[in-house]
A = this chain, B = another copy of it.
Amino acid sequence: MSSQIYTSALAQTASEFDVALADLLASQRDDVPRIWDAMRYASLAGGKRLRPFLVLTCAEVCGGSRESALRVAAAVEMMHTYSLVHDDLPAMDDDDMRRGQPTLHRKFDEATAILAGDALLTLAFEVLADPATHHDGQTRAELVLGLARAVGARGMAGGQMLDLEAEIRPVDDENQVMRLESMKTGALFAWSCEAGAVVAGAGEKERTKLRAFGAEFGMAFQITDDILDETGNPDEAGKAVGKDSERGKATLVSLGGLDGARDAALDHAQKAVENLDLFGEKADLLRAAATQLIDRRV
């Protein structure tokens, strides 16, 4: 598959997804305007929508309903967005720009950013648990459970805690860096892919393979992100770059050099693709996504 077909599919999915997301974030009559404005400000600022793309493509590979998958994709993206909003706070990474616009706490204020993040986190679960997402309660509960595990203290939130601790007691071991990144980033990528299979009613084998694809994809993504932080320019990254080394943060780049990091990213992308054999041609877009990740970013 040409990388152009993938790029165009990613953009098309993002447009379709943005409509569905905006719909879920539309205010109702009795709403408190400020918190919804803040939730929309953080959520509807564009972005590649890579996680939603993975949810939707994996659901499609498994033959699931588009409408259901769009709601699951929205829940995953809300979770990702809440994590960016809270990570950007002054007490955390203290970032001023995100996706080419002032961060939420800079545009509104810190209290609003904390609350809007909390509300997005909560809304993600509300969307999944709603009967509109899937007729079967068991499936809805499974979607909630998987997402909660991916983003909680044993996943994304725990990874962010490790990341903050590493600023005080630097990590100097590749295994520790990989653990941190697999919790902070990998878990939600793995779940994005598995959730697509779950909402499509796929069997255990498909779930396991897509989950493994997502985990490896997530690691490749994170490592290329670290490389971009070292080599990229802020326009391309859509955020400040060079912050890792400025903070003395250990990444595969700082520990193994650029070449070592590139090798590792390539290795993870290859492992990701190896999990797709089961799906034949249907998974070509996922293969293209993994390849493109390496080609474009590094």
Contacts and interface: CB of A to CB of B under 8 A. Distances in A.
Interface of A: 28, 30-32, 34-36, 39, 82, 86, 89, 91-92, 109-112, 114-115, 117-119, 121-123, 125-126, 128-131, 136-142, 144-145, 148-149, 151-154, 157-158, 160-162, 164-165, 183
Q: Is the interface of A mostly helix, strand, loop or mixed?
A: helix
Contacts of A160: 115
Contact of A92 (B114, B119, B128): B114
Nearest to A30: B154
A17 B91 CA distance: 33
Contact of A123 (B31, B137, B152): B152
21 contacts: A31-B153, A31-B154, A34-B165, A36-B153, A86-B114, A91-B109, A92-B114, A112-B164, A118-B121, A119-B152, A119-B157, A119-B158, A123-B148, A123-B152, A125-B148, A126-B149, A136-B137, A138-B138, A141-B141, A141-B144, A144-B144
A258 to B, nearest CB: 29
User: How many copies altogether?
Assistant: 2
Contact of A137 (B36, B91, B140, B162): B140
A161 B92 contact: no
Contact of A141 (B39, B118, B129): B129
Given A32-B161, A89-B114, A119-B153, 15 more contacts: A30-B154, A32-B158, A34-B165, A82-B118, A92-B111, A92-B114, A115-B160, A115-B164, A119-B152, A121-B121, A122-B153, A125-B125, A129-B144, A136-B137, A137-B137
Determine which residue in A118, A126, A131 has the highest number of CB atoms from chain B within 10 A of its CB, and name it: A118
Contacts of A30: 154
A89 B113 CA distance: 12
A140 to B, nearest CB: 4
A63 B148 CA distance: 29
A91 B119 contact: no
Contacts of A142: 129, 137
Given A129-B148, A137-B137, A145-B130, A115 B161 contact: yes
Given A31-B154, A91-B114, A153-B36, A148 B122 contact: yes
A236 to B, nearest CB: 28
B157 A122 contact: yes
